Amino acid sequence: MARSRNHTPQPIAPQAAVAFLEKVLPFSNLPRQQIEWLARHCLVDFFPKGSRIITAGEEVAYLHLIQKGGAKATIVDDAGETTLKDYRGEGAAVGALPIIGNSPANMTVETVEDTFCILIPRKIFKDLLEAQPGFAQFYLKALSDKLIRTAYSELRHHKVSRRADDDLYLFTIQVGDIVKQEPKKAPATISIQEAARKMAEHRISSLLIHDPENEDQIIGIITDRDLRNKVIAAGVPYNEQVERIMSTNLTTVLSQAVCFDALIRMMSAGIHHLLVEREGKIIGVLTSHDIMLLQGSSPYYLFKEINKQPRIKDLYPLAGKTVEVVRHLLKEGAQAGNITRMISIINDEIVKRLLILLEEEHGPPPLPYCWLLLGSEGRREQTFRTDQDNAIVYADPPDEETARRAAAYFERFAKAAIDHLVACGYPLCPGEIMASNPKWRQPLAVWKQYFDRWIMTPEAEQILHATIFFDFRPRHGAFALADDLRRHLLSRVRRQEIFLLHLARECLTSKAPLSFFKNFIVEKDGAYRNRLDIKHRGIAPFVNFARVLALKHGVKETNTLARLKILAEEGQLSNDLATQARHAYEFQMYLRIVHQLQQIDDGEEPDNYIDPSQLSDLEKRTLKEAFSTIERLQEALRTIFPLR
């Protein structure tokens, strides 16, 4: 238990305080004269290990700056459970949040070792915030970050029920921590039989192949699957050199990456082995089996189940298992961007496997084609049971007969695919933006004409099409067709400022759902009375903002978070605004996912309508802050484009 303290802080020599403040942000950015003024008001205090610096629920009289030592911050929930929030080291501030918010402390902070703190009286700190706007912004940003993190924790604790006893460690354990042994290697000149004997001897499922002249230069890998498929099944002689069957497309992951990143990389690439790299050297091999053992119940297991199904109807129940995958990720602490990536990968694999099996039923297509995902699917931002948005682009027919056969084939193929996707749990698109609609299965040349027309005549319907179709990405088939279409789109759009102007103006029509007095604007009547449409009123403005800037600057990426990141890295968007937008967007997506998961648990159909009265004060405050970011995005658009 923390020890209480009753003695009074002591004065500190001003020169000692100046020397400390000059090295600590944001004080180091103050003019020298102001630092000296501040130093004259500073005090110093000593807190033995296990002492309490501030107590949750009590007023904070000083901003504490840790001069030497360290402390931990904890929070107690309604059930009396104590949760560790973070550690504070030298130079860190304690107590800024409640002073800025004029509220009692929401966390208890205790020392973990003997600690000295420099204290700034509450009034002096408040005066400083008012006198230095840039200085205040430093703490306001920190307030925003902590507010969001605490709100995430509260949402997880109170609104996500656990359906399994096993914990996941995807976001806490690094890849390097589960690599148990150095990789086994062999030269490329070794025979297949010798390689197989070496794998059996060491009981390993993979063997790294190195250059015969340089053991550190890894040039390939063979796995037990290679031995089955490339040797036994194909009848390759065992005395052939191993380089004949090795895979040279090596995929690496940094040892400090968390296991979730490794899992996503495996699932995206459809591979089972990753080379683990540390400081430019391969230190081990991570397998999908390693992650499955780590988790107990793994998304990778579902991934494998999807890809081994021999019949389309066997895919029907698998999409529903995404719910439990998401539940585990939420409890583990995943943010919305990680969750939607996982949902997209699972959905992608179902679509891909379905189309592969459908091709076996219908026979090979008369022309190369590519199945396109549109809208939220194209952006990899799906939540639960998102409506279908898809299309088919196929190679331009060389003659009328091929054109006729292609049209007939893709009509049958698309109708069957859409029906099967419905059976898997993916609802029909109310606007019929699906490959079953003849308008949305066309040759490449026709798609280019569509895009040209929408860009050249940006009226209401064309703008709507642009917001859905321009976020396309390829899922199955000839990806080169989609790449060609993407290049065509970006080259046309960047020359049409009028079209971009219309897109930007459309962004300004979405007002933040907050009244003049910062109350939520909810539905006034109907089935969703007194509820807030989080998708269209809150999330869509961020999606639209990222899209118009991505098109303007030729960014190929379609995901909203990735677009914001790239725009900031390329200097097209300030880091501050991009960070704030990402936080605001991701918190809303998180709130939406948790809301839908609750509805599924209650046996209801998931929707996008949040009841603000069911949110805690912290969640309401965080959501209002997220909505306020919409105004900043729109102001940025007015600066970039000549809008009034």
Task: Please tell me whether residues 407 and 477 are part of one structural domain.
Answer: yes
Listed range (249-253, 322-326, 479-483, 614-618) with the worst mean pLDDT? 614-618
State which of 443, 460, 493 marks the end of a domain.
493
Given a cut of 80, is residue 147 above it in pLDDT? Answer: no
- Whether 384 shows a pLDDT value over 60: the answer reads yes
Of 295, 312, 341, the domain-final residue: 295
Mean pLDDT, to the nearest integer, of 557-572?
95
3-class SS of residue 62: strand
Is there a single domain that holds both residue 558 and residue 623?
yes
pLDDT at 523: 83
- First-to-last C-alpha distance (Å) of the chain: 61
215 pLDDT more than 60: yes
Domain assignment present for 141: no
- Per-residue tokens: 379: 């952006």
| Torsion from C-alpha of 104, 106, 111, 115, nearest 10 degrees | -50
Q: Calculate the alpha carbon distances from 113 to 1, 10, 88, 305, 351 in Å.
A: 14, 20, 11, 50, 55
Q: What is the pLDDT of residue 350?
A: 94
Name the token pair of 307. Answer: 């890809």
Residue position matching structure tokens 């759009």: 493
Provide the domain limits for residue 563.
Answer: 502-640
- The secondary element (H helix, E strand) that includes residue 111 is strand 108-111
What is the per-residue pLDDT across 22-41, written as a single tens digit (0 to 9) for each? 888 888 888 899 999 999 99
What is the CATH number for 227?
Answer: 3.10.580.10
pLDDT at 630 over 60: yes
Is the confidence at residue 162, as pLDDT, over 50?
no
**Whether the predicted pLDDT of 252 surpasses 80:** yes
Instruction: Copy the structure tokens of residue 536.
Output: 């269209």
Which segment, 79-93, 94-108, 430-444, is predicted with the most confidence on average? 430-444
State the Cα–Cα distance between residues 54 and 94, nearest whole angstrom. 8
Determine the pLDDT at residue 148: 58
Angle between helices 540-552 and 479-493 (to 10 degrees): 80
User: According to the model, what pLDDT value does residue 167 have?
Assistant: 46
**500: pLDDT confidence band, cut at 50, 70 and 90?**
very high
pLDDT higher than threshold 50 for residue 583: yes
Say how many CA atoms lie within 13 Å of 175 toward its Cβ.
28
Q: What is the DSSP string of 371-415?
A: EEE-HHHHTT---TTPPP-EEEEEPPPSSHHHHHHHHHHHHHHHH
At residue 408, the pLDDT reads 97
Give the separation between CA 264 and CA 342, rounded to whole angstroms.
7
Residues 262 and 322 in one domain: no
Confidence at residue 527, expressed as pLDDT on a 0 to 100 scale:
86
Q: pLDDT over 90 for what percent of the chain?
A: 46
For residue 164, pLDDT over 50 is answered with no
The predicted structure's pLDDT at residue 124 = 93
In sequence order, the 6+-apart residues with CB closer than 8 A to the CB of 481 are 368, 369, 370, 393, 394, 395, 444, 474
Residue 122 has pLDDT above 70, yes or no: yes
The residue count of the chain comes to 644
pLDDT value, residue 228 = 86
Q: Please indicate, yes or no, whether residues 41 and 28 belong to a single structural domain of this protein.
A: yes
Q: Are residues 263 and 279 in the same domain?
A: yes
Beta carbons of 441 and 410 less than 8 angstroms apart: yes
Give the per-residue pLDDT at 319. 85
SS3 of residue 68 by DSSP: strand
pLDDT score of 144 more than 70: no
Give the Cα separation of 11 and 642 in Å (integer).
56
Q: Which residues lie across from 186 on neighbouring strands?
A: 209
**In whole angstroms, what is the distance from residue 393 CA to residue 410 CA?**
10
Contact 488, 527 (CB under 8 A): no
Q: What average pLDDT does the segment 64-83 reach? A: 80
From 173-187, 200-214, 338-352, 532-546, the region with the lowest mean pLDDT: 173-187
pLDDT at 296: 44
Please give the average per-residue pLDDT across 625-642, as a whole number.
Answer: 90
For the residues 123-139, what does the mean pLDDT come to?
77
The number of folded domains in the chain is 4
pLDDT of residue 156: 62
Does the pLDDT at position 5 exceed 90? Answer: no
Mean pLDDT, residues 161-169: 46
Please tell me which residue, 458 or 84, carries the higher pLDDT value. 458
Q: Average pLDDT, whole number, for the chain?
A: 86
CB 138 within 8 A of CB 146: no
**Residue 167 is assigned to a structural domain of this protein:** no
Decide if pLDDT at 145 tops 60: no
In a domain, 467, yes or no: yes
Q: Does position 488 have pLDDT exceeding 90, yes or no? A: yes
Claim to verify: residue 477 and residue 515 sit in the same structural domain: no
CATH number at residue 590: 1.20.120
SS3 content of the chain, % helix, strand, coil (to 5): 50, 15, 30
Q: Could you tell me if residue 166 is inside a domain?
A: no
Same domain, 257 and 396: no
Banded model confidence at residue 6, pLDDT cuts 50, 70, 90: low
Q: What is the mean pLDDT of residues 83-96?
A: 78
In a domain, 149, yes or no: no
* SS3 assignment, position 165: coil
**CA 346, CA 31: separation in Å to the nearest integer?**
55
Pair 487, 512 in one domain: no
476 in the same domain as 518 = no
Name the pLDDT band for 501 (thresholds 50, 70, 90).
very high
Q: Are 210 and 219 in contact (CB under 8 A)?
A: yes
The answer to which of 15-29, 65-79, 305-319, 555-569 has the lowest mean pLDDT is 65-79
pLDDT higher than 50, residue 623:
yes
Question: Closest by alpha carbon to 520, among 589, 598, 621, 595?
Answer: 621
CATH of the domain at 15: 2.60.120.10
Look up residue 409 and give its amino acid.
Answer: Y
> Looking at this protein, which amino acid is placed at residue 128?
L
Residue 371 has pLDDT above 90, yes or no: yes
Whether residue 424 sits in one domain with residue 462: yes
100 and 36 in a single domain? The answer is yes
Is position 163 within any domain? no
Residue that terminates a domain, selected from 493, 523, 558:
493
User: Looking at the predicted structure, is the pLDDT value of residue 261 above 90?
Assistant: no
The arithmetic mean of pLDDT across residues 472-496, rounded, is 94
Spell out the SS3 assignment of 193-251. Answer: HHHHHHHHHHCCCEEEEEECCEEEEEEEEEEHHHHHHHHHCCCCCCCCEHHHCCECCCC
Q: Do 34 and 100 fall within a single domain?
A: yes
pTM score > 0.85 for this model?
no
Angstrom distance (rounded) from CA 301 to CA 289:
9
Q: What percent of the chain has pLDDT over 70?
A: 89
Residue 77 scores a pLDDT above 70: no
Q: In whole angstroms, what is the distance from residue 350 CA to residue 348 CA?
A: 5
Query: 290-307: per-residue pLDDT in tens?
Result: 776 555 446 777 887 888
Does residue 210 lie within any of the structural domains?
A: yes
Q: What is the pLDDT of residue 262?
A: 84
| 495-518 mean pLDDT | 85
Is the model's pLDDT at 163 over the cut of 70? no
Distance CA 128, CA 445 (A): 63
Whether 89 is in a domain gets the answer yes
Q: Residue 347 belongs to a domain with what CATH number?
A: 3.30.460
pLDDT at 158: 57
Say yes or no to pLDDT of 558 above 50: yes
Q: Average the pLDDT over 55-75 and give the result.
A: 89
Interval 410-425: pLDDT, tens: 999 999 999 999 999 9
Rounded to the nearest 10 degrees, how much is the dihedral formed by the CA atoms of 438, 441, 444, 446?
A: 20
